[in-house]
Amino acid sequence: MVHEENGSAAAAWIARLAQPVPGAASGNSPLAGLSFAVKDNIDVAGVPTTAACPAFDRQPIAHAAVVQKLLDAGASLLGKTNLDQFACGLNGTRSPYGEVPNAFDSRYVSGGSSSGSAYVVAKGEVDFALGTDTAGSGRVPAGLNNIVGIKPSRGLLSASGVVPAAQSADCVSIFARTVALAVDVLLAAAGPDARDPYSRELALRSDPFPPAFRFGVPDTLSFFGDLEAEAAFRDAQARLVALGGTPVTIPFAPLAEAAALLYESALVAERYAAVRGFFDAHGSQVIEPVRGILESGRGYSAADVFEAQTKLRALAQQVEPMWRGIDVLMVPTAPTHYTRDQMRADPVVLNRNLGAYTNFVNLLDYAAISVPSSLRADGLPFGITLIAPCGSDLALAELGQRYHHATGLPQGATGLPLPEPRAIRGLGVPQAPAMAIAVVGAHLSGMPLNGQLTERGATLLRATTTAPRYRLHALPGTVPPKPGLQRSAGGGSAIALEVWSVPVAQVGGFLALIPPPLGLGSVELADGSWVHGFICEGHALADAEDVSHHGGWRAYIASRTASSQAIST
SS in 3 state form for 336-403? CCCEHHHHHHCHHHHHHHHCCCCCHHHHCCEEEEEEEEEECCCCCEEEEEEEEECCCHHHHHHHHHHH
Least confident of 44-53, 105-114, 141-150, 421-430: 421-430
C-alpha 471/C-alpha 553 separation (Å) is 11
The pLDDT of residue 5 is above 60: no
3-state secondary structure 86-127: HHCCCCCCCCCCCCCECCCCCCEECCCCCHHHHHHHHCCCCC
The pLDDT of residue 362 is above 90: yes
C-alpha 140/C-alpha 149 separation (Å) is 8
Residues 6 or more apart whose CB falls under 8 angstroms from that of 489 comprise none
Contact predicate 439/453, CB 8 Å: yes
- Considering the chain, what percentage of its residues have pLDDT values greater than 90? 83
- Asked whether the whole model's pTM tops 0.85, one would answer no
pLDDT band at residue 427 under the 50/70/90 scheme? confident
The pLDDT of residue 473 is above 60: yes
Catalytically annotated residues: 39, 113, 137
C-alpha 408/C-alpha 463 separation (Å) is 5
Nearest to 51 by CA among 102, 141, 113: 113
Peptide linkage before 113 cis (omega within 30 of 0)? yes
Nearest to 84 by CA among 303, 322, 432, 355: 355
Question: How much is the mean pLDDT over the chain?
Answer: 93
pLDDT band at residue 566 under the 50/70/90 scheme? low
The pLDDT of residue 50 is above 60: yes
pLDDT digits (tens, 9 = 90+) for 242-274: 999 999 999 999 999 999 998 899 999 999 999
C-alpha 383/C-alpha 236 separation (Å) is 9
pLDDT digits (tens, 9 = 90+) for 99-146: 999 999 999 999 999 999 999 999 999 999 999 999 999 999 999 999
Nearest to 547 by CA among 496, 477, 498, 500: 496
User: Looking at residue 560, what is its pLDDT?
Assistant: 85
pLDDT digits (tens, 9 = 90+) for 379-400: 999 999 999 999 999 999 999 9
The pLDDT of residue 197 is above 90: yes
C-alpha 136/C-alpha 357 separation (Å) is 8
Q: Is the model more confident about 501 or about 362? A: 362
User: Looking at residue 428, what is its pLDDT?
Assistant: 76
3-state secondary structure at position 525: strand
How crowded is the C-beta side of 391, counted as CA atoms within 13 Å?
Answer: 8
Least confident of 188-202, 407-421, 526-540: 526-540
DSSP letter at 284 equals: G
Sheet strands side by side (includes 530-536): 459-465, 496-503, 434-439, 530-536, 518-524
User: Looking at residue 316, what is its pLDDT?
Assistant: 96
The pLDDT of residue 569 is above 90: no
Contact predicate 39/117, CB 8 Å: yes
pLDDT band at residue 568 under the 50/70/90 scheme? low
Average pLDDT score over residue span 50-77: 97
Least confident of 52-56, 102-106, 181-185, 535-539: 535-539
Average pLDDT score over residue span 440-446: 93
